[in-house]
Each structure stands twice: as C-alpha cells, then as structure tokens.
Structure 1
Amino acid sequence: MSLTSELADPAGLLSRWCARVFTGTPLAARRVEEAVHGVHPVRPALARPPRQHWAQVGGAFGQRVADLVQAAPPYYALLGMLRAQWGGAAWAHDQAAAYPTHAGLPGEYRARALNIRPAATTWLDLGDGFPDIDPVPGAPLLWADFLARARRYQARHAPPGLLGEPGAEAGLARTAWVLSACEDIYRSGETDPRLGRVVDGGGTIDQLRALPGDEVVTELTGLARRLHERGVLWELRRLAGVPPEGTQLGIAGPTIVPGWADGDLLLGRIDPEAGIGDGTATLVDVKTVVTVRDPGRVARWLWQILLYAWLDTGDLYRIRDVGLLLARHGTLVCWPVDELAAELLGTADLVEHRRDEFRDLASGILRRAGLSLPES
C-alpha cells in the first residue's frame, strides 16, 4: 500500500492521524478553491465521458508534463510492460538506458538503468529483482520501436521545457496516452483490452497510437495549451531557475520512498553529479480535476504533498517548497514547506514536533511492509 492509498482510507492509521492533527486544513483547502475562482476549466469534448476517461486523461497528461520537465525513461510504463510480459528484465534496462538522462551512466549502471533514478544530489540505486521471462513474441521489438520513435519525436518537436506546435502536441498526446496505459498495468495489474489486443495480436505502432480517440487527443492538447495561455509554463521554468530552452526543469517522478512514495515533479536546477543549483527545489503534484470544491479530496492532496516533503529524511531532493498544478485551470499553487505545515496545523509552534511524530508513524508502517525511510 502506498502513501496515497493510506490517505485514501479514512479508517487508516495515517489518515486518522492527519485528520486529528491538521486542524487548519479547511482554511488551506479554501485557498486552493480561491486560486481557481472564475477560471473556466478545460472540459472533455464528450458531454458524458465514460468513467475511465478521467483517469486515462489524467495519467496521459501526467506523462506529458513529466516529459516537459525531463527526458527520462517512463519508469512505470516500462514496469507495466514487464508485468504484461511484453519484455524481459535486460530488455527493460536497455530501454531505460537509451534515454538522455541515463545515456551517460557507466556500463554497470546502464545494465540496471530502470532501477537507477536521479535525485537532486546523487543517484538512487533501487536494487534488482526483475525475473527473467519469455516475452510475448514480437512485443519487445514493437515497444522498442515505439519508444525510440517517441524519443526522436520529443527531441525534435518539444524538448524539455518547451511545448510543441498544436500538431506536435497531438502526436505527443497519443504517445503519452499509450505510456500511461502501460503504467496502469503496473499500478493495477489490469491491461486495457484494446492495448492487449494490439500488442498480443502482433499489431503495429500506428495501431498503438490510434488507441486514444480524437476527442481525447483534443482534450490533452487543450490541457497543454492551457499551460501556455495561463503562464504556468513560465512558472515551471522560473521554479527551475530559468534554464536555457531545451534544458530539463528538474526531475520527473522523483522516488522519495522506494515502493511507497513517488512524486510527480521536482523543479530546480538539478545535476546529480554537482548537486542542485541554488540549494532548493519545489515538489509539485499534478491534478486534472474539473472542480476543487470537494474539501475532503483537496485535504488529502495537501496532506500528501506536505508528507512527501517530510519523508525526504535524507534531504536527497532538497524540497523547500511544495505545490499543486491544477491542469484544467492552468493554475499553480505553491507554499514553502514550513508555511504549509503551519497552515495545516493551525500553528507554527508544532511543526517540528508533528514532523517527527509523522516520521515515527511512517517508520512503523514502512517497517511492517519491509521498507524504510531514506538515508542521506
């Protein structure tokens, strides 16, 4: 069970602890609602989209923003491919090693590239553990070609920090949707039947890219356009220290506690060899909801981004600010970590005490799951 699932269970130990100590949550949640007041969100083209539409678009746009931040391997999509037996362990590591972030690693690490992740000041080695399998015939080649084409397309039309022209963004949306569908296999163990039919049936890249309907692609390109129209792209670049165009803005999918807590975006001038440029970074969670009027849901978002920052006990990511990217509204809401903690607690006096209390609580949960907090 992840931190997200712990918070989603109202009867869970962690969820009950948050509800008890974060007495200032309603005021903080109101700030989020006020930030999007009067903004008309990007809505689906279909008047009544199917239930799975929301998660699929959310996952695909999360992948698109990850690519905007860093040209990194789609870690969880590759893990989904492994789970579906569409590739073996050595194959998956080879695919991860082909991405710009990992291409310069020494050979011994390239051979385990899928489990080597960048942090702000170092590289994380998540170990091994993928079994050898006989993959579905033809699947490894299909996915290798798909990923290679995606890397070339991204580098040409929308390198990190930049959005593409509308036509390019439509192409990127199709890629992101497919990768998100593979990630869903890793997260849930279930394969979208449409995706399974193409891959297991010896299909083509064109068939993979045709899986998201035109209305989904239109919606995803609208979300990308909203980043530009509302100035969020500039805000992301500013949080990254305004690097040169085409340069990464930070880390996509930072692994805060392996197997338990993975963030969406970490923004900052990051170089695992030399350290982070100005000593600080901003952890941002991406949300693709139409409304923020559900105080319980917004509360869980706020608890999660604060607890993610508190979980970085080794200060591997230098998280000093946290935020929510409300994608359909084109709005970014950020807080210094200690300021959000004081707001949620209703006082600044208890921040350190409650942080230590949470870490003790989290240590117990992790220990029972065979995990542990990160070290410096």
Structure 2
Amino acid sequence: MSLTSELADPAGQLSRWCARVFTGSGSVARRVEEAVHGLQPVRPALARPPRQHWAEVGGAFGQRVADLVQAAPPYYALLGMLRAQWGSGAWAHAQAATYPTHAGLPADYRARALNVRPAATTWLDLGDGFPDIEPIPGAPGLWADFLTRARRYQARHVPPGMLGEPGAEAGTARTAWVLSACEDIYRSGRIEPRLARIVDGGGTVEQLRALPGEEVVTELTGLARLLHERGVLWELRRRAEVPPEGTQLGIAGPTIVPGWADGDLLLGRIDPENGIGDGTATLIDVKTVVTVRDPARVTRWLWQILLYAWLDTGDLYRIREVGLLLARHGNLVCWPVDELAGELLGSEAVVEHRRDEFRVLARTILDRVGLSLPES
C-alpha cells in the first residue's frame, strides 16, 4: 500500500491523523478552486467518455510532462513490461541504461540502471530484486525497437524543456499513451487487451502507436498546447532557473520513499556535479481533472504533496516548495512548504511539532511493510 492509497482510505490511520490535525484544509482547498475560476478547461471530445478514458489521458499526460522535465527511463512502464513477461530483468536494466540520464553511469550501475534513480545531490540505489524469467518470444525485440524510436524522436522533436509543433506533440502523445498503458500493468496488474494482442501476437511498433484514438491524441495535444498558452511552461522553466532550451528542468518521477511514495516532478536547476543548483527545488503533482470543486479530493492532494516533502527526511531532494499542476486548466499553484503546512494546520507555530509527529507515524506504518524513511 502506498501513501496515496493510505490517504484514500478514510478509516486508515494516516488519513484519520490528517483529518484531525489539518483543520485548515477546507480554506486551502477553496483557494485551489479560486485559482482556476473563469478558466475554461480542456474537455474530452466525447460528451460522456468511458471511465477508463480519464485514467488513460491522465497517465499519458503525466508521462508527457515527465519527458518535458527530464529524458529519463520510463521506470514504471519498464516495470510493467517485466510484470507482463515482455522482458527480463537484465533486458530492462539495459533499456534504462540507454537513456541520457543514465548513459554516463559506471558500468556496474548501468547493469542495474532501472533501480538507480537520480536525486537532487546523489543517486538512489534501490537494489536488484527482479526474478529471472523467460520473456514471451519476440516481445523484448518489439519493445526495444519502440523505446529506441521514442528516444530518437524525443531528442529530435521534443527535447526536455521544450514543447514541439502540433504534429510532433501528436506523435509524442501516442508514445506517452503506450508507456502509460505499460505503467498501468505495474500498478494494477491489468493488461489492456488490445496491447496484449499486439505484443503477444508478434505485432509492430506502428500497431502499438496506433492504439490511442484520434480523439485521445487531440486531447493530449491540447493539454500540451495549454502549457504554452497559459504560461505554465515558462513557470516550469523559471523554477528550474531558466536553463538553455533542450536542457532538463529537474527530475521526473522522484522516489521519495522507495516502494511507498513516488512524486511526479521535481523542478530545479540540475548541476551534473553538484545536484540542484541553488539548493532548492519544487515538488509538483500533476492533476488532469476537469473540476476542482470536490473539497475532499483536493484536500487529499494537499495532504499528499505536503507529506511527500516531510518524508524527505534526508533532504535528498531539497524540497522547499510544493504545488499542483492543474493540467486541464493550464494553471500551476505553488506554496513554500512551511507556508502550506501552517495553512493546513491552522497555525504556523505547530508546524515542526506536527512534522515530527507525522514522521513517527510514517515510520510505524513503514515498519509494518518492511520499508524505511530515506537517510541523508
């Protein structure tokens, strides 16, 4: 069980603690709603899209924004491929090692690259942990071709920190959709039937990329365009200290607590030798909902981004601000960590006490599942 699922359980120990101590949550949730007042959201082309549509678009856009921030391996898509027996552990490590973020690692780290993740000033080594399996014939070659083409396309048309022309964004959307479908295998165990038929039946990269419908591709392209039109791309770049075009903006998919808490985006100027440039970074959670009028849901988002920052007990990511990227509205809402904590708690005077109390509770929860908080 992850921190997200803990918060989604109203009877759970963590969600009950949050409800008791974060007495100012309602007023902060209303401020999030006010932040998008008057902004017309990007909506699906279908009047009543199937329930699965929302998750598919949300996952694919999350992958697109991750690629915008950093040319890193699609960690959880690769883990999904492993779960589907479409590749071996050694194969997945070899694929991860080809991405720009990992290509310069020493040979022993590249040999287990999927479990080596960048932090602000160091690298996290998550160990090995993959069983030796015999993959489905043909699948590793198909996925290797798919990933190779995707890397080349990104480097040429949509490098980190930049949005592409409409045609390039449409092509990127197709890649992101497929990778998100693979990530869903890792997270839920469910394999999209059309995806399985192509891979298990000896299909082609072109067939994989044809899976998302035109209405989905158009919607994803519209979400990307909104990042530019409403100034979000500039704000993301500003929080990364405006690096040269084509340069990463931070870290995609930061691992806060291995096996329990993974963020969406960490923004900050990355120095190859010294990590985050000025010692500060902004942790961002990406949301693709049409409305933010559900205070209970928005409250859980706020709790999560604050608790993620509090979980970085070793200060591996230098998180000093947190925020929500409301993708369908083209808006980014951010707070300094201590300011958000004070507003949620209703008093800045108790921030340090409640943070320490939460960490004790988190250690108790993690101990039950054999996990631990990160160290410096």
Which band: TM-score by shorter chain?
over 0.9
Q: Secondary structure of 1:344's partner?
A: helix
Deviation, structure 1 residue 272: 5.6
Gapped regions of structure 2 (runs ≥ 5): none
Letter in 2 for 1:86: W
Q: Would you identify which runs of 4 or more consecutive aligned residues in structure 1 move more than 4 Å?
A: none
The one-character-per-residue Cα deviations of 1:57-90 (angstroms, maximum 9, x if unpaired) are 0000000000000000000000000000000010
Q: Write the mapping of 1:1-376 to structure 2, written as runs, cut at 5 A.
A: 1-271=1-271, 273-376=273-376
Deviation, structure 1 residue 273: 3.0
Distance in 2 between residues matched to 1:146 and 1:140, nearest whole Å: 10
Aligned residues of 1:102 and 1:113 also touching (Cα < 8 A): yes
Letter in 2 for 1:46: L
The one-character-per-residue Cα deviations of 1:222-253 (angstroms, maximum 9, x if unpaired) are 00000000000000000001000000000000
Aligned residues of 1:120 and 1:272 also touching (Cα < 8 A): no
Aligned residues of 1:123 and 1:272 also touching (Cα < 8 A): no
Distance in 2 between residues matched to 1:307 and 1:270, nearest whole Å: 24
Aligned residues of 1:126 and 1:258 also touching (Cα < 8 A): yes
Count of aligned pairs between the two proteins: 376
Aligned residues of 1:45 and 1:219 also touching (Cα < 8 A): yes
Distance in 2 between residues matched to 1:22 and 1:159, nearest whole Å: 40
Distance in 2 between residues matched to 1:276 and 1:46, nearest whole Å: 42
Letter in 1 for 2:86: W
Q: Secondary structure of 2:347's partner?
A: coil
Aligned residues of 1:86 and 1:136 also touching (Cα < 8 A): yes
Aligned residues of 1:161 and 1:248 also touching (Cα < 8 A): yes
Deviation, structure 1 residue 275: 2.3
Gapped regions of structure 1 (runs ≥ 5): none
Distance in 2 between residues matched to 1:237 and 1:32, nearest whole Å: 22
TM-score (norm. length: structure 1): 1.00
Aligned residues of 1:118 and 1:272 also touching (Cα < 8 A): no
Distance in 2 between residues matched to 1:248 and 1:65, nearest whole Å: 11
Distance in 2 between residues matched to 1:272 and 1:159, nearest whole Å: 18
The one-character-per-residue Cα deviations of 1:117-159 (angstroms, maximum 9, x if unpaired) are 0000000000011011110100000000000000000000010
Letter in 2 for 1:140: P
Aligned residues of 1:43 and 1:219 also touching (Cα < 8 A): yes
The one-character-per-residue Cα deviations of 1:185-238 (angstroms, maximum 9, x if unpaired) are 000011000110110011100100000000000000000000000000000000
Letter in 2 for 1:375: E
Distance in 2 between residues matched to 1:273 and 1:254, nearest whole Å: 18
Aligned residues of 1:122 and 1:272 also touching (Cα < 8 A): no
Deviation, structure 1 residue 271: 3.3
Aligned residues of 1:284 and 1:322 also touching (Cα < 8 A): yes
Distance in 2 between residues matched to 1:279 and 1:75, nearest whole Å: 26
Distance in 2 between residues matched to 1:197 and 1:297, nearest whole Å: 36
Distance in 2 between residues matched to 1:256 and 1:269, nearest whole Å: 18
The one-character-per-residue Cα deviations of 1:30-61 (angstroms, maximum 9, x if unpaired) are 11000000001000011110110000000000
Deviation, structure 1 residue 333: 0.1
Q: Secondary structure of 2:348's partner?
A: coil
Aligned residues of 1:116 and 1:126 also touching (Cα < 8 A): yes
Deviation, structure 1 residue 276: 1.3
Aligned residues of 1:122 and 1:273 also touching (Cα < 8 A): no
Distance in 1 between residues matched to 2:251 and 2:275, nearest whole Å: 13
Letter in 2 for 1:107: A
Q: Secondary structure of 1:266's partner?
A: strand
Q: Secondary structure of 1:350's partner?
A: helix
Distance in 1 between residues matched to 2:158 and 2:231, nearest whole Å: 17
Report percent identity of matched pairs. Answer: 87
Q: Secondary structure of 2:66's partner?
A: helix
Q: Secondary structure of 1:182's partner?
A: helix
The one-character-per-residue Cα deviations of 1:255-293 (angstroms, maximum 9, x if unpaired) are 000000000000001236312101100000000000000
Distance in 1 between residues matched to 2:349 and 2:302, nearest whole Å: 19
Q: Secondary structure of 2:349's partner?
A: coil
Distance in 1 between residues matched to 2:242 and 2:273, nearest whole Å: 20
Q: Secondary structure of 1:167's partner?
A: helix
Distance in 2 between residues matched to 1:273 and 1:9, nearest whole Å: 41
Distance in 1 between residues matched to 2:268 and 2:179, nearest whole Å: 25
The one-character-per-residue Cα deviations of 1:286-334 (angstroms, maximum 9, x if unpaired) are 0000000000000000000000000000000000000000000000000
Distance in 1 between residues matched to 2:275 and 2:263, nearest whole Å: 19
Distance in 2 between residues matched to 1:228 and 1:275, nearest whole Å: 27
Distance in 2 between residues matched to 1:92 and 1:339, nearest whole Å: 41
